[in-house]
Structure 1
Amino acid sequence: MTLRTILAASSAALALTGMAQAAEHGPFKIGITQNNVGVDSYQTTYEQAFIAAAEENDMVESVVLDAGGDVARQIAQVEDLIQQDVDAIIIWPTNGEAVIPAVRKAHQADIPVIVTNSNIAEQGFDFVASFSGPDNITQGARSAEIMCDKFKDMGIEAEARVVQISGQPGYTTAIERAKGFEDRLPEVCPDVTLVETQPGDWNREKSQQVMEAFLVKYDDIDGVYAGDDNMGVGALNAAKAAGREDIIFVGATNFSVGYEAMEAGDYWGSIYQSPVDDAEAALQTAIDVLNGEDVPFLNYFDTPKITQDNMSEFTKPVF
């Protein structure tokens, strides 16, 4: 049996479970365990949007939990939601592999699981009804295209050197955005060199320290790719402090600080992603699964390129 067949069969079974629950219970009780609300403004805004969307829907009762970045806590939260006999569980994984046993338990309890924002590892796919979120590999690829296009405009695509600041190690979003960038960059700019990658852990201060070390280690840096704008602005701050104004900065997930840095002409481009869209899509995906609707396993929402050239077409992020 192929992976696609397994996923289709799993999704169909979960959909039938959802219809039975709807008939028996009426309003859906949907639990969510989030990754780490306090780590950045994206996750904070996501939580606020999720709560607002649930409160506005008379057919939803929500249980909103936050793992605080702790895998063990998130596993315990999933087990608690199972004990509460919720109709569906939404999980924003703290770690794409470590949470699989907990997701399996929910599946075995006939509770459909929707993974949001950052997917779990592939070996857990047959325990999941749907993934709702961005295509992070595509985001990384689009960031590579933004950087390559800028290098070509500058006429340095044959010699440019790039460093990368990735997200938290082991975190699926970080892995996928790095992979998308690393795979796409040599396809569009084969002579550009990615000289080193270090994690910034989604943290601006740590990313600034990583960039400070890069600037000491390498005299020639033409571009920086960061897994999100929070880290990218940290790197930008380090470059400014060192008087290095000749570096092209490209990120992903356009934070308000990234948008402002683009307005100031200091930061070239990013990928536009809304935490409000992210949260509302996750809740709607859970509702659709419980209603027995045909939901794609990979339920992506679009995340377009944003640069200094087209940023006027986009509203400044609120996070």
Structure 2
Amino acid sequence: MNKSLKVTIAGTTAIASLVIAGAAFADTYKIGITQNNVGVDSYQTTYEKAFIAAAEANADVEAVVLDAGGDVARQIAQVQDLIQQEVDAIIIWPTNGEAVIPAVREAFKAGIPVIVTNSNIAEAGHEFVKSFSGPDNITQGSRSAELMCEALDGKGRVLQISGQPGYTTAIERAKGFEDRLPEVCPDVELVETQPGDWNREKSQTVMEAFLVKYDDIDGVYAGDDNMGVGAMNAAIAAGRVGDIAFVGATNFAVGYEAMARGEYYGSIYQSPVDDAEAALKTALDVLGGKEVPFLNYFDTPKITKANMDQFTKPVF
């Protein structure tokens, strides 16, 4: 079946959106997605490409693809725009789990099912959502704590570089790590946490400050490998990389490569392609009247140098 791809401008958001459309059959579903910030890291960029590819491959889907650019107000406007377009379903990758709740409520009142992808919204908004599709971020943080315990052999002092404040994934991964670490390693102390905002350069700067402040640091946990590699780069520049165990979550290609070199201990394997395809499938299942669990997780296992040959190198 022929597909067409065209670029339009979303009137209320003044940014470009992609419309991926199949032939105009009556059973075609119009699905809108508003993403967090495609430009902030390669995971989100890969997710968007995978989502577009999955939508193009499905003759029953017309997709409106938007990106909030990390701006909560813009994302709220995008949801309102999708409501006005009378889409059949909305997928949202929230920029802020609390702030987007009123917009999600508007979609609910308009009779449009909402699927949250990758990072859940705050619990107060769950009643307005059909399903969450993505990783179990608390489990990811918990597994990262177990990796840190292994790396330090049960003793040491660690620092944490968390994601963007107010972002549900950042909150949950930190909680999973902080709750699990004293359970598996009571002799490992979490000394301090600072946000890296999912940004490699900022995380490197945060780590540079940590290295000045602390002489005796044994490990660093970062909410994703993008930040973890930024922290590792700071330690390399300071000549201290061999003294510190680095553990992340969401294994990036740079983390995978550093793991192979022995500079990075471990991470959590998470595919943005699986993430994107799962979100679209969840939306289609909801629209098709299928029973979908509210928390629709896909598995994200631990990865270290010892087992990395079992995993394909990330493309992001």
What is the aligned partner in structure 1 of residue 108 from structure 2? 107
Give the residue type in structure 1 aligned to 2:116.
Answer: V
Q: Within 2, Cα distance between the matches of 1:25 and 1:306?
A: 45
The equivalent position to 2:296 in structure 1, one of 276, 281, 299, is 299
TM-aligned CA deviation for residue 149 of structure 1: 1.5
What is the aligned partner in structure 2 of residue 222 from structure 1? 218
> What are the within-5 Å matches in structure 2 for residues 238-277 of structure 1?
238-244=234-240, 245-277=242-274
The equivalent position to 2:180 in structure 1, one of 170, 174, 184, is 184
Matched, 1:207 2:199: no
Matched, 1:67 2:63: no
Give the residue type in structure 1 aligned to 2:271.
Answer: S
Matched, 1:81 2:82: yes
Give the residue type in structure 2 aligned to 1:221.
Answer: I
Q: Within 1, Cα distance between the matches of 2:254 and 2:152?
A: 23
Residues 115-146 of structure 1 deviation map (CA, whole Å, 9 limit, x = unaligned): 00000000000000000000000000000001
Q: Within 2, Cα distance between the matches of 1:149 and 1:204?
A: 25
> What are the within-5 Å matches in structure 2 for residues 109-124 of structure 1?
109-124=110-125
Q: Within 2, Cα distance between the matches of 1:304 and 1:52?
A: 25
Residues 193-245 of structure 1 deviation map (CA, whole Å, 9 limit, x = unaligned): 00000000000010001001111101100000000000000000000111102
TM-aligned CA deviation for residue 26 of structure 1: 1.2
What is the aligned partner in structure 2 of residue 31 from structure 1? 32
Gaps of 5+ in 1: 1-23
Structure number having the greater helix percentage: 1
What is the aligned partner in structure 1 of residue 312 from structure 2? 315
Q: Within 1, Cα distance between the matches of 2:48 and 2:95?
A: 15
TM-aligned CA deviation for residue 303 of structure 1: 0.2
Residues 44-99 of structure 1 deviation map (CA, whole Å, 9 limit, x = unaligned): 00000000000000000000000000000000000000000000000000000000
Partner-residue secondary structure (3-state), 1:302 = coil
Q: Within 2, Cα distance between the matches of 1:72 and 1:210?
A: 28
Q: Within 2, Cα distance between the matches of 1:49 and 1:109?
A: 28
Q: Within 1, Cα distance between the matches of 2:194 and 2:236?
A: 20
Q: Within 1, Cα distance between the matches of 2:201 and 2:111?
A: 43
What is the aligned partner in structure 2 of residue 282 from structure 1? 279
Q: Within 1, Cα distance between the matches of 2:125 and 2:245?
A: 38
Give the residue type in structure 1 aligned to 2:143.
Answer: R
Gaps of 5+ in 2: 1-24
Instruction: Calculate the aligned-residue CA RMSD, in Å.
Output: 0.8
What is the aligned partner in structure 1 of residue 149 from structure 2? 148
Give the residue type in structure 2 aligned to 1:303.
Answer: T
TM-aligned CA deviation for residue 25 of structure 1: 4.4
Q: Within 1, Cα distance between the matches of 2:236 and 2:151?
A: 20
TM-aligned CA deviation for residue 294 of structure 1: 0.3
Q: Within 2, Cα distance between the matches of 1:308 and 1:162?
A: 21
Length-normalised TM-score, structure 1: 0.90
Structure number having the greater strand percentage: 2
Q: Within 2, Cα distance between the matches of 1:196 and 1:295?
A: 39
What is the aligned partner in structure 2 of residue 47 from structure 1? 48
Q: Within 1, Cα distance between the matches of 2:261 and 2:200?
A: 19
What is the aligned partner in structure 2 of residue 10 from structure 1? none
Task: Check 1:298–1:92 CA distance in 2 against 1; reply closer, same or farther (3 A cut).
Answer: same
The equivalent position to 1:172 in structure 2, one of 168, 175, 183, is 168
Q: Within 1, Cα distance between the matches of 2:64 and 2:201?
A: 32
Give the residue type in structure 1 aligned to 2:37.
Answer: N
Partner-residue secondary structure (3-state), 2:62 = strand
TM-aligned CA deviation for residue 150 of structure 1: 1.9
Partner-residue secondary structure (3-state), 1:296 = coil
Residues 264-301 of structure 1 deviation map (CA, whole Å, 9 limit, x = unaligned): 11001000000000000000000000000000000000
Moved over 3 A (4+): none
Give the residue type in structure 2 aligned to 1:215.
Answer: L
TM-aligned CA deviation for residue 151 of structure 1: 1.7
Partner-residue secondary structure (3-state), 2:39 = helix
Partner-residue secondary structure (3-state), 1:132 = strand
Partner-residue secondary structure (3-state), 1:205 = helix
Q: Within 2, Cα distance between the matches of 1:72 and 1:151?
A: 43
What is the aligned partner in structure 2 of residue 11 from structure 1? none
Partner-residue secondary structure (3-state), 2:44 = helix
Give the residue type in structure 2 aligned to 1:46.
Answer: Y
